[in-house]
Amino acid sequence: MARHAERMVHGPEGDTFTEGSTVTWSARHFGIRFRLTSVVFDLDPPHRFCDRQLRGPFGAFFHEHVFRPLPEGTLMRDTIVFRSPLGPLGRLVDRLFLLRYMRRLITERNETLTRELEG
């Protein structure tokens, strides 16, 4: 996702994710460089896996990836649950702004992934 200068700065040995693998991503959002380190768990290839933030900008961040085979390809469904830090102020930011931003970001990421895989 070049628009956000997103890149993996640390990943698992051999770039193969296993249960308990950690990955650190760097990206620029709102003009600020962020790093997010997450751990992979509930790995069930090729059906699903989850990751959750260990360190990063969120108060909490959980991401489930589910893959379902279809005759015309694969359906990928992302479920993300997040909470901003800073208590009541963070909850207000989530409701007023961040929920829509995250939906657009994940949609953009999935469209980019689709283009890469189909291209």
pLDDT at 119: 78
d(CA 6, CA 14): 20
Q: Which residues contact 22 (CB under 8 A, 6 or more apart)?
A: 10, 12, 37, 38, 39, 40, 54
Mean pLDDT computed over 92-101: 96
Which of helix, strand or coil describes residue 119? coil
Structure confidence at residue 39 as a pLDDT band (50, 70, 90): very high
- In which band, very low, low, confident or very high, does the pLDDT at 14 lie, cut at 50, 70 and 90? confident
CB 45 within 8 A of CB 64: no
Q: Which domains does the chain have, with CATH numbers?
A: 2-118 (3.30.530.20)
CA-CA distance, 25 to 9, in Å (whole number)? 6
Residue type, 27: A
pLDDT in tens, 45-69: 999 999 999 999 999 999 999 999 9
Report which DSSP code applies to 97.
Answer: I
